A = this chain, B = another copy of it.
Amino acid sequence: MEKNLFDNMIQDRRKIHMCPEEGWTEFDTTYYIVCRLKEMGYQTILTGRQMIDPDSVMGRNPAVVREAIERAERDGVPHEFIEKCDEYTGAVAILGSGRPGPVTAFRFDIDGLCVQESDSLDHLPTKQGFASKRSGRMHACGHDGHTAVGLAVAQWLIEHQEELNGTFKLIFQPAEEGVRGAAAIVGSGLLDDVNFILGSHCGGRAKLGQMALVHGGVLASIKYDIFFKGTPSHAGSSPQTGHSALMAACATSMMLVGIPRHGEGVSRVAVGTLHAGEGRNITPVHAKIECEIRGETEEVLQYLAKNVEKIVRGNAISYEVESRIEKAGYSTTLIECPEILETLREIGNEIPEVKEIIDLNEPVGGEDYTLMIKRVVEKGGRGAMFRWGCNHHGHHKGDFDLQDTESMSMGFEVFTRFAKKINGR
């Protein structure tokens, strides 16, 4: 790639790395993206509420969003911009060539994590001075790199628009962590006219120099927040008048992990957190469980989901407490479009940075980009996902790094060559 594009990409990545924002709070990041896109000359840019279907939003805490808006304004994000976002984050740049041709969407996710970045000098961002400036927040999954690749791709596309037909939609998606954001973009209808969609992730099992074609292996998942509300009482003098939300949550947890295995596909049930009770000698009034289910197929997932609902409903009755289930995230399995993977394989073979192409199919964590491919395929299009490799000690850890100067150009190359192949004049 050209030096100019490369330098911008590295600079973008490092700036974004310094200000990680967790899902649904990416106001600084969205503003940065939009400013960069405008500099490049993009005229059609959707932000926040314009590209988000609020009814499909999951795992978003309004109080946390409000705090994030205040912070963003303190950071200098203009009030008018915030107002335009209308409480939601993310951006989409649309580039129409004016010529007929495919609608091609690229997806880049932009959110960071609640992880404390390593202050070791062995950690490159720390050593080179671009570590997170927000304590307890970090781009520990590489979405900073994804975003920077997306901006570089955006710049390349606008510079080469005369060589391209059709239309591009560059999606800068919020809240991928916890698989919370994709459904809201799908719900907005943005993908309903898309013919081709391409997404990527850095790292995982793909090491530096490897390009991975993802055939499957993504478990469908639903994330739940389960709430119980009981009745207080003094545990010493009148235990009989209390209804313990804590006990309902414990019984629910015991039952959740006991949902029978499914004979037709891998399943997972995890109870990740449980917080309940107000004081040692008071019958607990509030309980909250954060849990998740995963299934090898949508059928397995829905089987688990049905059981979650029954269990919560049953325990609400057994313990005479109120219950509420909130869907805090959702992703599906990866639909495989073999011909697109073959196109990517051909592209990979032409890219100097790609030393090896690997094929991935084993179960890994969820990815809500699966919802986007699903919608595109349902509407008659096709799509795929690839990984551009980097060496790392594990995602979501304080010492995660992606070797930006060595790894990111592979991502850039795949996206831009795909654009040429699919939309080239």
- Chain A interface (Cβ < 8 Å from any Cβ of B): 178, 219, 221, 223, 234-242, 244, 246-247, 249-251, 253-255, 257-258, 260-264, 266-284, 287, 290-292, 294, 300, 303, 310-311, 313-320, 328, 363-366
Least CB distance from A210 to B in Å reads 19
Q: Which residue from chain B places its CB closest to the CB of A318 in the assembled complex? A: B314
Q: Which residue from chain B places its CB closest to the CB of A221 in the assembled complex? A: B236
Is A263's CB under 8 angstroms from B240's CB?
A: yes
Number of copies: 4
Q: Within the complex, which residue of B246, B272, B303, B313 is in contact with A273, where a contact is CB–CB below 8 Å?
A: B246
Q: Which residue from chain B places its CB closest to the CB of A243 in the assembled complex? A: B260
Is B294's CB under 8 angstroms from A236's CB?
A: yes
Q: Which residues of B contact A237 (CB under 8 A)?
A: 263, 363-365
Docked complex Cα distance between A250 and B273 (Å): 11
Q: Which residues of B contact A272 (CB under 8 A)?
A: 235, 246, 277-282, 284
Is A254's CB under 8 angstroms from B260's CB?
A: no
Least CB distance from A171 to B in Å reads 24
Beyond A242-B260, A251-B251, list 15 extra A-B contacts (CB 8 Å): A236-B268, A237-B364, A240-B260, A244-B260, A247-B257, A247-B271, A249-B274, A250-B251, A250-B254, A254-B258, A263-B363, A271-B284, A274-B277, A275-B275, A314-B318
19 contacts between A and B (CB under 8 A): A236-B268, A236-B292, A240-B261, A247-B253, A247-B254, A247-B258, A249-B250, A250-B253, A251-B251, A254-B254, A255-B318, A258-B258, A263-B363, A266-B266, A272-B279, A280-B292, A310-B318, A315-B318, A317-B317
Q: Which residues of B contact A292 (CB under 8 A)?
A: 235-236, 280-281
Least CB distance from A213 to B in Å reads 20
Q: Within the complex, which residue of B234, B274, B290, B313 is in contact with A250, where a contact is CB–CB below 8 Å?
A: B274
Q: Which residue from chain B places its CB closest to the CB of A258 in the assembled complex? A: B257
Q: Which residues of B contact A276 (CB under 8 A)?
A: 273-275
Q: Which residues of B contact A277 (CB under 8 A)?
A: 271-274, 290
Is A280's CB under 8 angstroms from B270's CB?
A: yes
Is B261's CB under 8 angstroms from A261's CB?
A: yes
